[in-house]
Every structure is written in C-alpha cells, then in structure tokens.
C-alpha cells in the first residue's frame, strides 16, 4: 500500500536528479489506493515537462510495487494561485505581486517587496482616497498563518 512516506521518498529520489534539484513538495492528497494528487514547486517555477517527468517517475514506482488499485488516479501539478504559499522559498518568485497575508496579529494586504532569511516585507497602502505612499511592513515567517497571491486582471 502506498503511504505518504513512500511518496516523499520517491520524490526525494527524483528531486536529486540533475535539473530537478530546486524542486520541492508543497502538498499531497492521498486517498487510499485510488487517488494521489501531488503539488510541487521550484525556485524557478514548474513547467509542464517537469510535472510530466515527476508523474512518470511516481507512476513507475507505484506500478513497480503494486502500491495502488489497478485504476488509480495520479495528478502532479504546481500549486496554482488558489493554494496558499506554505514555504518561505515559495515567496521570492512572487516579488512585486499583491499578497493577502493572515498573521497571528491580524490580516495584511500588500505588494511583496522583499523576502529575507526569516521574514517578508510588504508595501502596504493606507486606506482612503489620498495618494499616500505605501508603508513597508516586515512580517516574520513564523507569524504567518496563511498567505495567498492575489490575481489581478488589470
């Protein structure tokens, strides 16, 4: 039977290969022996070819070990904008984008300006109609409960 530990082990094996070293697991959903969804990311972003290669690697390991039902569903994808950012290393590629961040001190919305060792810096615009410059707010990564990239269609 397939376990999350085995999936992590299979992924670590794949991510040690040349060209996959900056890939990492963001999340997974394993439903018994019928369905596995894996969400991966990388420092450069995840291409279709990367997802396909990881999927084929997992598929061969699953079938080699008979670890899932004969008709199982396997999905390998990047997290997408609807999923929250989970790791500090996901933030740099979103520099310049608007984030909605829920922290232990409250909610903050602003443009991601910087990512440092253990914190992010947002440019937060004060409310109102006046053109007031944005203020910079540092947020420790440990205090972030969730953070989502806001999609803009401007």
pLDDT in tens, 63-95: 999 999 989 999 999 998 889 999 999 999 999
> Could you read off the pLDDT of 98-107 as tens digits, one per residue?
999 999 999 9
Structure pTM?
0.83
Q: Is a pLDDT exceeding 90 seen at residue 143?
A: yes
Q: Considering the chain, what is the average pLDDT of its residues?
A: 94
Q: Kindly list the structural domains of the chain, giving each domain's residue range(s) and its CATH number in brackets, ordered by start.
A: 4-77 (3.30.300.20), 88-149 (2.30.30.100)
Residues above pLDDT 90, as percent of the chain: 85
CA dist 75 and 48 (Å) reads 12
Residue that wins the pLDDT comparison between 98 and 132 = 98
pLDDT computed for residue 128 by the predictor: 63
Residues 6+ apart with CB under 8 A from 112: 91, 94, 95, 96, 97, 98, 99, 120, 121, 122
Element (H, E) at 59: helix 48-65
Instruction: List the single range of 6-15, 71-80, 128-137 with lowest mean pLDDT.
Output: 128-137
Polymer length in residues for the chain: 154
Provide the pLDDT confidence category of residue 118 given band limits of 50, 70 and 90. Answer: very high
What pLDDT is recorded for position 129?
A: 64
Mean pLDDT (whole number) for 24-44: 95
């Amino acid at each position: 039977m397939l376990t999350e530990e085995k999936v992590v082990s299979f992924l670590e094996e794949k991510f040690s290969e040349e060209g996959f070293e900056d890939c990492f697991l963001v999340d997974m959903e394993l439903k018994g022996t019928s369905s596995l969804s894996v969400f991966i990311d990388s420092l450069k972003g995840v291409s279709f070819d990367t997802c396909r290669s990881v999927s084929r690697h997992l598929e061969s390991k699953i079938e080699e070990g008979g670890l899932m039902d004969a008709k199982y569903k396997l999905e390998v994808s990047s997290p997408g904008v609807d999923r929250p950012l989970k790791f500090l290393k996901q933030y740099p590629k979103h520099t310049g984008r608007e984030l909605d961040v829920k922290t232990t001190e409250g909610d903050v919305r602003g443009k991601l300006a910087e990512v440092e060792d253990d914190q992010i810096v947002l440019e937060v615009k004060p409310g109102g109609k006046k053109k007031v410059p944005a203020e910079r707010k540092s947020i420790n990564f440990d205090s972030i409960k969730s953070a989502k990239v806001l999609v803009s269609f401007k």
